[in-house]
Amino acid sequence: MYNQFWKNRSVLVTGGTGLLGSELVKQLVESEANVVTAVRDNVSKSRFFIENLHEKVTVVHGDVIDFPFLERVIGEYEIDTVFHLAAQTIVRIANNSPLSTFESNMRGTWNVLEAARLHSKKIRSVVVASSDKAYGESKTLPYDEETPLKGKYPYDVSKTCTDLIAQSYWYTFKMPVNITRCGNLFGPGDLNFSRIIPGTILSVKRNEPPIIRSDGKFIRNYFYTKDAASGYLTISENVENHAGEAFNLGTEERFSVIDITKMILKLMGSSLEPVIKNEATNEIYEQYLNINKAKEKLRWTAKYSTEEALKETINWYTKYV
């Protein structure tokens, strides 16, 4: 959907080939922004390439852990707005390879913020992707933005640190930074088939029982990338009134893993039964967000129900995968 606000703005998206990044790039391109996308790996099957988004933006190749690369890109392309999405996002990988997760998620964040600080006269807005996982485990649910950040496990800790690093650039340097904390993202183009939604869709396509790694009772918000991207844009558009603030983004629907799996099976007309392996470790059992702050301060709310979003997502995989 076209948004006049973004016309001709110079925008850097890190992680632009990822699940949320591809959708955010798409919405920015539709609004005639001048988009620069930092790409580490050419993932040929990603939505970014399948839908030819790479032909509509400037692609720069490099890694967010490379500070000179980021500083050059922000300076040479006269970047006005930064959306920092690049991260290692898989909990299982973080448990197996914590160092690479810390490097990508923490070093990548301070590099982006420091590069932006060096060009602060030009920078209007920086939006940093944290996560609901930054809160860690809490006995009080849903999480609101005042809930303490206290991740315990490697991925959660990386996001707690990402969040605090971003906050420090506001408190110390008055960088026009905002932080997003989202629920479990899903949508077209997710190639991490270990995640329950794309994994279940792929299993049905192959006529194989979907695999649930946990006991199936973990509770989460499931959040559509179209709504997430609109939330990111809305936050950036309102930075003058809300610089330094964090916002929860998500839906007010929540589901267990087994419930979301069964919803997909029903929507796909499948009689398959999931296999529950109960192998998941070092993950938060129950987690969902209060989004009243975004609703009240930004007048933002998710437009899609989980069922509507799943239908669109299933249609994308039917077409492309």
Active site residue 155: yes
How far apart, in whole angstroms, are the C-alpha atoms of residue 283 and residue 195? 13
How far apart, in whole angstroms, are the C-alpha atoms of residue 19 and residue 48? 9
H helical segments located in the chain: 19-30, 47-50, 67-76, 91-96, 98-102, 108-118, 154-173, 196-205, 225-237, 239-242, 257-267, 292-297, 306-320
Q: Which of 143, 153, 155, 288 is catalytic?
A: 155
Q: How distant, in Å, are the alpha carbons of 179, 192, 194, 261, 270 from that of 202?
A: 32, 11, 10, 12, 12
What's phi and psi for 317, nearest 5 deg? -65, -35
Q: What is the number of other CB atoms lying within 10 angstroms of the CB of residue 117?
A: 18
Amino acid letter for position 223:
F
- Our measurement of the distance from residue 198's CA atom to the centroid of its chain's CA atoms, rounded to an integer in Å, reads 15
Which residues lie across from 129 on neighbouring strands?
180
Active site residues: 155
